[in-house]
Structure 1
């Protein structure tokens, strides 16, 4: 093999990862040398103004997306470098694409499957290179940084789309509609013998026959095949307590993460997490094996996967109820035969506490509890359609980027709708990825008649992208637009009062509004400690009277037509 075809990783000491500049130049050269195998192009721009690239490999030299999708060909998508400090997937993908170009038998083995890839997604983070940001990681010598130019984690941005990267990704993913996705990572956490651990689209959340196929057919094959290739693999090590001995829980990857986002499109997603404490060379080799294993399965079973995805979409068009939130069932653990190291506890030399360590000289293998059942704990009745007022353009844009079919109303019309009133919201204490995320949302639903305005967006639910619309527009969805704060302004009452004037007027309101008086008496009985607080007393009366009600206050603006 000529030196120009060797990847930067292969040319070094196998403890180095490519730079973004070298990676892109290498792919561009490869595409020039093998134009019938590889198409490589710019698909967008990062927040710091650098191009984001993607590549397409096919065995017959057909690269036009419309042609490939019209032919019904399976699409396998490999995303790399979302966290540039976890780069083994970047280097492994380069070698795989090179092998497609230089090994006719490897290319022919693709058959009709399309190999789609992003070489380095977080471009901004990849150029912010050092060797200090990954505290516990064994190599490589230099690597990129987790955050992008806006200090955001792109693997938390797939729904809110604060970054240009995520906006590009939403549109790119929707256009190609891959059947299987592998998004490559490196893990933090406990110590254990495995080099490769695996997060997959949670099967209960993926749901239906597609979820069952992943659980019963694809995952067993992948674990067996990885063991055959010399890389025994376990589920992502997410201990339920401080170490794996007490059991591990499956990772509920909601839609902010790549695999959860993929599930909104009925795509089977994998997030391989190599172990940070293993040498970079071993992590690289195991990642190449994992991508090859998932790809080979897709090539062999693409028709089945596509059929199941089509069935899931068709089923979604007629569902009477949709789950929007899932929770771990602690009463039904499965088991996994796990290889671990003995956990040791000893006094810390830094402070007055006990620290955990792992004794590699004392390995063990036994069955441990594996919590992998996540039934839905919030389900909603399926609307006939949603109505998104045109003023909320941020929500409308994201729906459009994800292929949600909708149309603008041509004229005003009165419509009976389901309206949510926001009863309470509990937000996490600090900023989370640039937002004040709402962890808890309590709602009250009511049916009213409202005037829909010309220009508002009508979003029917008898469509392929129903799942994306429902999980983002239902406020209680794990990663709904509401939870991410897109509609925060409706939580603020816009008008106020002067206490010295309103004190007398409040008495008049209590006389003229019997329901207000009854509510106030109940509030006083429940809150005797607040009766000495003028603000609390007047606030209650002002907030609950009908005379000065603000209809939009705490009313979720997206309406449901049942």
Structure 2
């Protein structure tokens, strides 16, 4: 280590983390002193106007993204500080990049692989420093806050992109197209001996040969190497009941999370989660080990990973059936040899209930159920193309940020199309990350001759980024744009009636529209308790009649060209 190039963590008592300004100045100094190794630049700004930076480390001084992609060089991406109260990855990345700059042998070991990193992603939260926001965490002495300047958790924002940070991230992933991503975190949850736990892109959801490679080759290597390095690692501890004794479930990371978002681009993603109750020095050391083990694997297998990702993209462009929602296969668990502490239950001194605690004086090691198999819950028949009307600018922007190929329709034309009619929607009672997220929906598939307007966007699915398009535009997908409320206005009926006038019209409508009369008769059988409510009765007739129908009401505006 160069004595004059030490990080805040190294200069202190091993229980301190860098500030945003210290971190950025550290990298700027490195880039000035080692311009043939490190390129460090601003790539955007946060919602509060704070610069967001990224760095590139190259063993032979090649930093241009176009050349790196043209030459097919492996790209390893390390994202840090998305939750600035979980900062060990920030400090570990600083030391790793410094060592690559000052140690020729370490740098040469990168070969053709390029290290791309974001030093601090949630820059707003990093500036909001205190020592109180992480209730159960052991150090460091001061740290940042989980929320950004809009009080958003950025690890729920990757698809909806409410923040400028997420826009920058989307564009970076699409332009750099990394092969492997490591996004560093600290975990809450049960107590156990492990310092390091690991979330990874769910292998079944990643699919095909790429998913098999992750499950059967890459993960066993990472776990074995972490054991050798002195940091035994287990899967993220997500108990199926109240403690790990009863088994743990693999985390189904949907695209709102970084690892799930990575899967939309066929990127192998990892989210290392160090344990909150372990000393900060241990969390730092295990995080550095995890990043280095994963980087070394990427260097050794980069060409193979690149081929598998290319094959996955090619296969996606040819798919006809798309899984868009997944569920745990409860009847098909595997096992994991787990190290745990005895779970104890005792009456609480605070209330009339039993509380859980862990007894570190009673460690145990035994196989536990590990639910790491997932099956498709919803499968859709993919169209040949989607058409997104130009009016839905927010949706179009996000597709463009992610490199989805599209063209604008030049002249009005009539096509046969499939679309969804939204029968019902169940939304969360409280806001979730700034949205009233739609948990459940009932859709009816309809077909019609539709006139496409000049300027609307035509999105063919025979393209490398088909997966991103399908999993954002199909409403039933885990984190579709519809679930996040991008199309909420179509759920609102725009016209209304005066009950004293409509009462007579309603009787006329029931006489003239047999289908309406039949559905109203069934509704009365199903809901006799509502017949005394004039508003409910009249609204049912108004909303189901043909004479006053609003064609766009509850009509999902994205068309599927079949």
Runs (4+) of structure 1 moved beyond 2 Å? Answer: 1-4
The residue number in structure 2 matching 1:475 is 475
Matches within 5 A, 1:369-518: 369-518=369-518
Does the 8 A contact of 2:81 with 2:120 survive in 1? yes
Q: How far apart are residue 2 of structure 1 and its match?
A: 3.9
SS for the counterpart of 2:377 is: strand
In the alignment, the residues of structure 2 paired with residue 441 and residue 37 of structure 1 have an alpha-carbon distance, to the nearest angstrom, of 52
The residue number in structure 1 matching 2:545 is 545
Deviation per CA, 1:195-222, whole angstroms, max 9, x where unpaired?
0000000001101110010000000000
TM-score by length of 2: 1.00
Does the 8 A contact of 2:2 with 2:102 survive in 1? no
Deviation per CA, 1:121-179, whole angstroms, max 9, x where unpaired?
00000000000000000000000000000000000000000000000111111100000
The residue number in structure 1 matching 2:525 is 525
TM-score by length of 1: 1.00
The residue number in structure 2 matching 1:171 is 171
The residue number in structure 2 matching 1:202 is 202
In the alignment, the residues of structure 2 paired with residue 11 and residue 441 of structure 1 have an alpha-carbon distance, to the nearest angstrom, of 55
In the alignment, the residues of structure 1 paired with residue 349 and residue 520 of structure 2 have an alpha-carbon distance, to the nearest angstrom, of 58
The residue number in structure 2 matching 1:335 is 335
The range that moved more, 301-310 or 516-525, is 516-525
The residue number in structure 2 matching 1:52 is 52
Deviation per CA, 1:339-379, whole angstroms, max 9, x where unpaired?
00000001111111110000000000001000011111101
In the alignment, the residues of structure 1 paired with residue 500 and residue 252 of structure 2 have an alpha-carbon distance, to the nearest angstrom, of 52
Q: How far apart are residue 521 of structure 1 and its match?
A: 1.0
Matches within 5 A, 1:85-124: 85-124=85-124
Q: How far apart are residue 92 of structure 1 and its match?
A: 0.3
Matches within 5 A, 1:54-69: 54-69=54-69
In the alignment, the residues of structure 1 paired with residue 451 and residue 485 of structure 2 have an alpha-carbon distance, to the nearest angstrom, of 25
In the alignment, the residues of structure 1 paired with residue 550 and residue 208 of structure 2 have an alpha-carbon distance, to the nearest angstrom, of 43
In the alignment, the residues of structure 1 paired with residue 405 and residue 2 of structure 2 have an alpha-carbon distance, to the nearest angstrom, of 50
In the alignment, the residues of structure 1 paired with residue 4 and residue 159 of structure 2 have an alpha-carbon distance, to the nearest angstrom, of 39
In the alignment, the residues of structure 1 paired with residue 21 and residue 397 of structure 2 have an alpha-carbon distance, to the nearest angstrom, of 32
Q: How far apart are residue 529 of structure 1 and its match?
A: 1.3
Q: How far apart are residue 3 of structure 1 and its match?
A: 3.5
The residue number in structure 2 matching 1:270 is 270
The residue number in structure 2 matching 1:22 is 22
The residue number in structure 2 matching 1:254 is 254
Deviation per CA, 1:63-120, whole angstroms, max 9, x where unpaired?
0111111111000000000000000000000000001000000000000000000000
Aligned residue pairs, count: 562
Does the 8 A contact of 2:155 with 2:256 survive in 1? yes
The residue number in structure 2 matching 1:287 is 287
The residue number in structure 1 matching 2:154 is 154
In the alignment, the residues of structure 2 paired with residue 159 and residue 318 of structure 1 have an alpha-carbon distance, to the nearest angstrom, of 24
In the alignment, the residues of structure 1 paired with residue 124 and residue 67 of structure 2 have an alpha-carbon distance, to the nearest angstrom, of 33
Does the 8 A contact of 2:334 with 2:369 survive in 1? yes
The residue number in structure 2 matching 1:134 is 134
Does the 8 A contact of 2:79 with 2:184 survive in 1? yes
Matches within 5 A, 1:37-48: 37-48=37-48
The residue number in structure 2 matching 1:357 is 357
Deviation per CA, 1:232-278, whole angstroms, max 9, x where unpaired?
00000000010000100000000000000000000000000000000
In the alignment, the residues of structure 2 paired with residue 542 and residue 5 of structure 1 have an alpha-carbon distance, to the nearest angstrom, of 73
Q: How far apart are residue 42 of structure 1 and its match?
A: 0.3
In the alignment, the residues of structure 2 paired with residue 525 and residue 138 of structure 1 have an alpha-carbon distance, to the nearest angstrom, of 61
Q: Which runs of 5+ in 2 are unaligned?
A: none
Q: Which runs of 5+ in 1 are unaligned?
A: none
Q: How far apart are residue 556 of structure 1 and its match?
A: 0.4
In the alignment, the residues of structure 2 paired with residue 204 and residue 138 of structure 1 have an alpha-carbon distance, to the nearest angstrom, of 35
The residue number in structure 2 matching 1:180 is 180
SS for the counterpart of 1:251 is: coil
Q: How far apart are residue 4 of structure 1 and its match?
A: 2.8
SS for the counterpart of 2:116 is: strand
In the alignment, the residues of structure 2 paired with residue 544 and residue 136 of structure 1 have an alpha-carbon distance, to the nearest angstrom, of 54
In the alignment, the residues of structure 1 paired with residue 34 and residue 89 of structure 2 have an alpha-carbon distance, to the nearest angstrom, of 22
The residue number in structure 2 matching 1:319 is 319
The residue number in structure 1 matching 2:214 is 214
In the alignment, the residues of structure 2 paired with residue 250 and residue 460 of structure 1 have an alpha-carbon distance, to the nearest angstrom, of 34
The range that moved more, 442-451 or 455-464, is 442-451
